[in-house]
Structure 1
């Protein structure tokens, strides 16, 4: 969920002056470092590494320069990364960078341009690879959903694009949701944010943050499709009875080891904290109780949580900690593990294959602040 303060910063298009880069301490790399580049590594190296730079924005970039990194491993084994990008242009695209050597090196590969609204692709890209043929698209098709909005933020769509060639070219598929605006994060603004996909049988579910209901400052909503073109109506996922409470940033997974679905979100009341719910169905989270994440040491890692499930464990991170929090599915014990990767707002997690070995890919794209020299970087580590 985006705070009112940071959206004022965006609306005024603040141009952040680049800070002078300090000498790099690789044991304590911080967000003030914008030009860190680890030593070259061999392609498809199985050894862990962190803070490998994907993209450093130039000084002409506005607002917080980069944020909200997302990744996908596509059918040919290569890795894609995208993020919210802030070049000094009106119709912003989602950039696509690609690595063919397991995350060691990255190069610009393509971009997702707004093909239908004339506005730009502005916020929260989400990459998803179809696990099976669906909606007339083959398995392995790469989907990207994100917020398209004009530069004055007067309205917005969550739009869906698809690539049938592993991210090289992209085509508009459908509008998922519309917000009449303004696309700002203050209560009463009819804005929509933060799409996330989950496949459930023959249905694709899109979860997102929704400010359009006058009974809620913000709630979590889902819509479904069986063909990627037409989408069902909005259904509540988490709708807090207190108007000013703002649940946001839904991430959902199926926990095969305990046959339950798992939702994480930021629960924003007086502060924003990582929160979760369990449910027997991906459609019934609204009737489930909430639990605040309580780590075995330290405090709740804060807002913008992101999680994945892998081999009976849940891996989670959030914006106020650089650790990955590890949980055995079905328990309430969360153990923080330092993986060496820079913290960031809504850091992305994904299990990938590197030389036939399972690795955890972590994608960072900076904090929601114009005072940091935000850049995009990745870690590839053994799942803790």
Structure 2
């Protein structure tokens, strides 16, 4: 059985290091390296020239930016230049590393003089030949005739059975790759949207100057004893959000957290978030992990006449149709409409995914519009809560 073609250990280790550092290379780039080596690229007459030819080949095939070219150059710079006989000795040691890694140094030292075959294998390994027997062939560090290189070998075995070299010093790109989840709607934009939901009323002490009343008083009496004042206008809008935290809503957990954190910045008279799983039954929860329950009736009495937003996939994430759930949701919406005249359902799944699911039956209720969850439709939902149908 013939072995599949593989890159030399030096280029194989470089390929593994580039992948570990986040360089976007894959199987096609690996095969390009094999084809280039088979075509004669990356070879030279002397050892140092061969290293430079391999470095140029790797930069040509696998580097797409200056940072990646510098990373490849640092790889070859940190691995010291070695003559051809040292490379042959390293290849021989790699061939027998699988059989010797399990043995301790004491066991290898004891077993070497007891077996003639082992002694012959060791001598063959020092001369650069590959022995037939997989006995312990790693030479001890005490022998000055054995060349050594400052290369650490990973413990992961590839399909060829050979470990690949890795630098003891991790070469890093000049810019770290930090992955952050992209917010569906940024918290700042959410706060701006909440401030759009306003129901202005006047109440409290008369501290604001009423210019029209002051001018009318002056015209009527011809004398102004004191200016006319009126109470300040304030936002009396109240908002209740019911958020689904069932397993199908796990991808939108960060958005639900941003939703709750942005409410205090909306300058609403009162805002609250209640959590449920699949369907709000007789109780809601004040925490997304469904702790601290409170009766649904008490929450609805506190927010009687307020706007209501429901955030749930309504079964469209899994693509299920549950008629019982659809009927129970319809009964619940009828009860909610007696307390909250304006209700909007926000579904994070795209509208085409609603077809054939429970969400399609819920969306058929004309009194409770169901909208996709994005910035545009959330703005539309706020306008519906304000009374702009």
**Is TM-score (shorter-chain normalized) higher than 0.5?**
no
Identify which of structures 1 and 2 has the higher relative contact order when contacts are C-alpha pairs closer than 8 Å and 6+ apart: 1
TM class by smaller structure:
under 0.3
Instruction: Say which structure is richer in helix.
Output: 2
Look at both structures and tell me which one has the larger radius of gyration over its CA atoms: 2
TM-score with structure 2 setting the length: 0.20
Instruction: Say which structure is richer in strand.
Output: 1
